[in-house]
Amino acid sequence: MKIKAKDLRLLSEGELSEKERELSEELFNLRFQQATGQLENVMRVPQAKRDVARVKTILREKGLSKGK
């Protein structure tokens, strides 16, 4: 489930922060499953990392545009 940047740009900063927290928690759980050998789809870890990075990038953009 890839999250699109254009969809993220529609969210407020508070919603983006919440989304970042959820995705970071999911990434932690995926890494835990991988370490214990329970992870079925190993490609989900890099996708989750990209999703977290995408959210952080949008948050940074919004923060920079607010400063202008």
- Which residues are within 8 A (CB) of 38 and not within 5 positions of it... i.e. 6 or more apart? none
Cβ neighbour number for residue 58 with a 10 Å cutoff: 22
Kindly list the distances between the CA atom of residue 51 and the CA atoms of 36, 41, 42, 67, in Å, as whole numbers in the listed order: 23, 16, 15, 25
Kindly list the distances between the CA atom of residue 56 and the CA atoms of 5, 24, 31, 36, in Å, as whole numbers in the listed order: 11, 11, 19, 28
Number of folded domains that form the chain: 1
State the residue range of the domain holding 21.
5-66
CATH code of residue 54 = 1.10.287.310
- One digit per residue, the tens of pLDDT, for the chain of length 68 reads 688 999 999 999 999 999 999 999 999 999 999 999 999 999 999 999 999 999 999 999 998 888 76
- Which DSSP symbol is given to 50? H
